[in-house]
Amino acid sequence: MFGFLKANQKSITMQQAQAELLKDRAIILIDVRMADEYIQGHIPGSMNIPLNSIQDIKTKVPDKSARIFVHCLSGARSQRACGILNTLGYTDVTNIGGINSWRGKIERG
């Protein structure tokens, strides 16, 4: 179904993402890990949409031009999710890698 990644897929480091998130509060931060992983610890303000249900983003983020940052644990699932989001018509999607590189506050629950 979805599996091919576009060569023009955007990515930045987690450090760059942290700086951008501080500057632009309108960025939508999507965590594509499973719900149990998200509960164990997530970036404050992130929205959990697991990779296996990423198509559900249409109801949560209907604006396909919204600026979206996507992350997971290490960056692999977020890369796949970005490809799927591009295929779904989202135009400003950036892979920011894995939460294991996040150097800020982590929320639990």
Q: Catalytic: 82?
A: no
Q: Is the pLDDT of residue 12 over 80?
A: yes
Residue 61 lies in a domain: yes
CATH number of 72's domain: 3.40.250.10
Residue 3 lies in a domain: no
**67: closest CA among 12, 106, 104, 108?**
12
Amino acid 39: pLDDT? 97
From the candidates 72, 82, 85, 96, which is the catalytic residue? 72
Are 105 and 42 within 8 A, CB to CB?
no
Are 77 and 51 within 8 A, CB to CB?
yes
Whether the full predicted model's pTM is greater than 0.75, yes or no, is: yes
Structure tokens at 53: 């249900």
Please give the single-letter amino acid code of residue 75.
Answer: G
Q: What is the tally of structural domains in the chain? A: 1
Average pLDDT, the chain: 93
Mean local confidence (pLDDT), 63-74 = 98
Residue 31 lies in a domain: yes
Residue 74 lies in a domain: yes
Give the residue numbers spanning the domain of 51.
10-101
